[in-house]
Structure 1
Amino acid sequence: MANPFEAVSGEYLVLCNDEGQFSLWPDFADVPPGWGVVAGPDTRQACLIFIRQWR
């Protein structure tokens, strides 16, 4: 079974925590405590571009 956190297809969110760290997160998974959604849902590629532009 493929890892859903690395699937090219599907919808993703960009999460950020209080330390300014980003995480690419599948849209279907619950957002973990301490993290907030800052972008998405969108494609994996669009979320990666968002993260690169933010830095």
Structure 2
Amino acid sequence: MSDVLTLADTWCVVINLEDQYSIWPFRKDIPYGWREEGTIGTKEDCLAHIKEIWVDMRPRSLKEAIAAQVQTGVAGA
């Protein structure tokens, strides 16, 4: 097995407007609504990075709605 990383084996971590993470083949155009997060490497490296940093799976809109309810004292039971 070779230690050389080819473009076909290279992935990048992407993030969307809801702060949800995924991986995407490095050589392909990133879909609309997503942007590069900055991590590039093997599929396994990228997935390990996501596992380490994505600790709150709630979408950004939900986190913001909950924060607004807490701030206004409307939080439910």
TM-score range, shorter chain: 0.7 to 0.9
Counterpart in 2 of 1:43?
42
Counterpart in 1 of 2:33?
34
Structure scoring higher RCO (CA < 8 A, sep ≥ 6) equals 1
Deviates more, 1:33-42 or 1:11-20: 33-42
* Rg (Cα) greater in structure: 2
Partner SS state of residue 40, structure 2 = strand
Unaligned runs of 5+ in 2: 1-7, 56-77
Aligned-pair identity in percent equals 32
Higher share in strand: 1
TM-score where L is the length of structure 2: 0.55
The alignment of Structure 1 onto Structure 2 pairs a total of residues equal to 47
The residue type paired with residue 48 of structure 1 is: L
